[in-house]
Amino acid sequence: MHGTDTPSPWIVRFSHLVPAGGSVLDVACGRGRHMRWFAGRGHPVLGVDRDAEALAGLQGVGETLQADLEGGPWPLAGRRFDAVVVTNYLWRPRLPPILAAVAPGGVLLYETFAQGNETVGKPSRPDFLLAHGELLQACAGLRVVAYEDGFLEEPPRFVQRIAAVREEPGPQPARYFL
């Protein structure tokens, strides 16, 4: 639920894919609903957002970094995380560094608005709406565990969402259950 403290059901559903005690990056974290979710489960968390006021409310939850993700360089160059979480945020030039931030064995949990959303509300600008299959294509180098592209009733919105793992080299155990 965007604008609430309730974590996304998609993130909750696939949070078991994050290795125990693994580090979590929450991109465009806002008030930190997903930071709180993962910190409450024993994960060290880092939230990045440009809103200093929102970040101030996250003292004691985890590490925060104030950064303009769209107006400057990627602030986490070279850093890797066991999970990267992105919800309700799209800035296409940041897709490659976001994907690169997923460590081997780590997971990407991404959910944002898709084309069609302009018919039911905001965002409505094409810059902020994924084209059909765009998120799936962006994650071509990862093992996709789950992907959805469609309409959700409450609140009414069109979304794409993915849970994808960057596999480590070598044989992998079948740990990616739904």
pLDDT at 2: 43
Q: Is the pLDDT of residue 174 over 60?
A: no
Q: What is the mean pLDDT of residues 64-69?
A: 96
Q: What is the pLDDT of residues 108-160, one digit of tens each?
A: 999 999 999 999 999 999 999 999 999 999 999 999 999 999 999 989 999 99
Instruction: List, in sequence order, the alpha helices (H) in 108-173.
Output: 134-138
Q: What is the mean pLDDT of residues 18-42?
A: 97
Per the model's pLDDT, the better-predicted residue between 62 and 168 turns out to be: 62
| Buried b / exposed e along 92-131 (16+ C-beta atoms within 10 A) | eebbebbbbbbbeebbbbbbbbbebbeeeeeeeeeebbbe
Q: What is the pLDDT of residues 96-107, one digit of tens each?
A: 999 999 999 999
β-strand partners of 37: none
Q: Are 86 and 69 within 8 A, CB to CB?
A: no
Q: Are 151 and 157 within 8 A, CB to CB?
A: yes
Mean pLDDT (the chain, rounded): 92
The amino acid present at 16, given as its one-letter code, is H
Q: How many residues appear in the chain?
A: 178
pLDDT at 168: 83
This prediction's pTM: 0.92
Q: Are 135 and 153 within 8 A, CB to CB?
A: no
- Give the CA dihedral 135, 21, 13, 86, nearest 10 degrees: -30
Spatial strand order in the sheet of 143-152: 63-66, 45-49, 24-27, 81-87, 102-113, 157-165, 143-152
The amino acid present at 115, given as its one-letter code, is Q
Q: Are 141 and 99 within 8 A, CB to CB?
A: yes
